[in-house]
A and B are shown apart, each in its own frame.
Chain A
Amino acid sequence: MNVGRTVVETPVAEKIAALTALDTPGVIRLEPSISALAASLSRRALSGWRGPGRDGLPPTAGVRAEISGDDVSVEIALAVELGRPVPDVAAAAQRRVADALTELGGFAKAAVEILVVDVDHI
């Protein structure tokens, strides 16, 4: 029997990346650019507004994913808690997101770029 194709769409990859990054100790928030914020406020994202996002915004604002075949690459812009070592927090987020994308998302390979846009108090 042919079991059929399994497809994980880009918004799902972005959500996995966002939630995993936010779950990393020392990551205090994602940092969407103006254009990313605008995009995430679009009608397509409206369904996410009623969800559990901390401030009502779609949780993926600040994450951009591109899927190519079985691979995925994501860019995550985030803020790190002031006083925590930025390289360690960023590397931990990077590793956790890559693992989540391969384990939960089923991607063969995940490239993860981390942009630390802000360092702030909680």
Chain B
Amino acid sequence: MAIEGVDEAYLLPCGQDAAILWEHVTVGQLDEHELDCPHCQAASAGFVALREATGELAEAELAPPRDLTERIMRAVRTERRRDAFIPIADNDLGPIRVAAQAAAVVVRFAADQTDGVTARSCTVQQLPGEPDGWCAVRLEVALRYGVDGMAAVDRIRELVGAAARELAGFEPAWIDVTVVDIWPGGRGA
């Protein structure tokens, strides 16, 4: 995902940096946490398989595609997203689920459409015990100096609610908005 701040680093769910784990796998020296942690174990198994596969490529004298590294790192990054899915439909063909982090991208996109508002971080979470697709939304925003904060937050809730239902396919049970910063810009900016 190209939007800044959604995934600052290639972190695994346990917090370990995937690039560091990759280095440790490469030299064959996992640390204590990595040996014990199921997330690190799963990722390192994937890395080992990738190394073997790319080794086979080298033997076959085929140059790996230029953007292979990018695809691998994207897979590492989106691996985190596979931990939490929101069920948004289940018809006669099968279920449709959207990663909670992908739903959060839609929410941030909607909040950014509000004049004088920049979305910072966002989480969307399926509420346990509630019907499928009923979610809690937590959003952090920064406002431009001079913007009427309460009116902006009302507008954010309106846009985020509509985007959640129409663009992402989930029902926001509530939308918590926290203003975490003000940036200078003036009323006319």
Contact = CB atoms under 8 A, between A and B. Distances in A.
Interface string A32-49: 111111110111001001
A117 B169 contact: no
B65 A86 contact: no
B62 A114 contact: no
Interface in A63-119: 73, 79-80, 82-87, 90-91, 94-95, 98, 110-119
Contacts of B169: 85-87, 90
Interface residues of B, number: 49
Given A86-B88, A86-B106, A87-B88, A115 B97 contact: yes
Contacts, number: 144
B75 A33 contact: yes
Given A82-B106, A86-B168, 10 more contacts: A38-B50, A41-B50, A56-B68, A83-B167, A98-B93, A112-B94, A114-B96, A115-B85, A117-B82, A118-B99
Contact of B91 (A56, A80, A91): A91
A23 interface: no
Contacts of B94: 73, 94, 111-114
